[in-house]
Amino acid sequence: MSLSRVRLEIDTAALRSNFAEIRRLSRSCRVTAVIKANAYGTGDLETGSILRSAGANRFAVADVVEAQRVSALGLPVQILGTLISPEECDEVVRNGFFAPVTGLVSARMLSAAAVRQQKSVPCQVKVDSGMGRFGMDTCAALSEIEEITRLPGLDIRGIYSHLSSAGTPENDYTLMQLKRFKELLFQLNKAGIFFEDVHLSASNGICFYPETCQAPFTMTRSGIIMYGCEKNHFEADNSLKSVLSLKSCLASVKRIRKGEGIGYGHTFLLPEDTLVGTVPAGYADGIPLALSNAGSVLIKGVRCPVIGRVCMDCTLVSLNDVPDAAPGDEVIYWGRSGEEEITPGDWAALKSTHVHDILCAIGNRVERRYL
């Protein structure tokens, strides 16, 4: 029996359904499942195992430490970011991870590690088509990539970049990035350099830019889209489902007099006698402070407003609209109850952030439950 007071429920059937839909949207491209940041808070090994059986061909992560964990799942592992030390390069070569090559400096460091170990390491060159982070500038990358391909120990398998503004269709900057990438690819092919893995499209690209899911592209990267919690993804032409629910329970219920203050700093004064419920989940569990006096939870199909400041370990809510509420009743932070639904996107809007931030903030003491 679990003693956890807060649980993140992962609907495995919905996750499998979403991945099947992503494979459909990706057309002839192979789909790499991105499970960095503990699979966006859902549990990398558990979620990865489900995605492996659903048809993922490869996993992608942010760094070497994540790659070490995910390698236990038995699929090839690709590191998407960059390598920053000889020690990281040694570990990548030792394990045969797909290595990012973001320029000559990282390429030489990786080549030296491969030569030391007398191995060949699979690599993908990363180019910057307009994100401004890691990678070679697409407008000047040709000569640098040509030099990289001559370094010993590097098995250059692919080329990739990342779209910065693909959350809506027909975005001019996204179309410019696509043009830059294709022009570089044409120049490389003309120079006799070809790649098995060619990918530009992550979750937004899969939804809104079908041209990134067909030749010359051979692969897509599926991340946040798998969980069905981005509003814009539902607006696209697909059949995605909500995967995640965050739940707790009422720990106490008591009536407090009109005019009394609630929570730290008394940021909320009760306008009437109020039935107040305490939920044993707070910002240490990933409940954002932005819900203070602004958000709500679902209890028995009714929206109950959050009152007072969210605490480290609990949240206070008004139960005046559910007068029969009692300790032990289920509290839904995200999910559906009756006709009502709260999503991670609703939290993101309150916090003026995006869904990735919400999911990655879910705390370690929250139980991940796979249904």
* Distance separating alpha carbons of residues 244 and 258, to the nearest angstrom: 37
Q: Work out the average pLDDT over 318-332.
A: 96
Please give the Cα distance from 110 to 12 (Å, whole number): 38
Structure tokens at 226: 């798998």
At residue 235, the pLDDT reads 72
pTM of the model: 0.92
Residue 77 has pLDDT above 70, yes or no: yes
pLDDT greater than 70 at residue 224: yes
Q: What is the largest CA-CA distance in the chain?
A: 79
> Among residues of the chain, what percentage have pLDDT more than 70?
99
Q: What is the pLDDT of residues 232-256, one digit of tens each?
A: 777 776 789 999 999 999 999 999 9
pLDDT at residue 221, rounded to an integer: 96
Please state the rounded mean pLDDT for residues 162-180. 93
Q: How many CB atoms lie within 10 A of CB 298?
A: 22
CA 218-186-84 angle, to 5 degrees, is 70
Query: pLDDT digits over 257-309, tens only?
Result: 999 999 999 999 999 999 999 999 999 999 999 999 999 999 999 999 999 99
How many Cβ atoms from other residues are within 10 Å of residue 155's Cβ?
A: 12
Residue 342 has pLDDT above 80, yes or no: yes
Confidence of residue 230 (pLDDT cuts 50, 70, 90): confident
Closest CA to 80 of 67, 69, 91, 90: 67
Mean pLDDT of the chain: 94
Distances (CA, A) of 278 to 4, 53, 226, 311, 312: 16, 40, 33, 10, 12
pLDDT given at position 237: 64
Report the catalytic residues. Answer: 36, 264
At residue 139 the predicted structure's pLDDT band, cuts being 50, 70 and 90, is confident
Percent helix, strand, coil in the chain, to 5, is: 35, 25, 40
Mean pLDDT of the 214-226 span: 95
| pLDDT (0 to 100) of residue 1 | 61
Question: Residue 180: its pLDDT value, please?
Answer: 95
Q: Is the pLDDT of residue 231 over 80?
A: no
C-alpha atoms less than 13 angstroms from C-alpha of 170 in its C-beta half-sphere: 0
Mean per-residue pLDDT for 2-9? 89
Over residues 78-119, the pLDDT tens digits come to 999 999 999 999 999 999 999 999 999 999 999 999 999 999
Which pLDDT does position 120 carry in this prediction?
A: 96
CA dist., res. 49 & res. 40, Å (int):
15
- Pick the closest to residue 319 from 276, 271, 269 (CA basis): 276
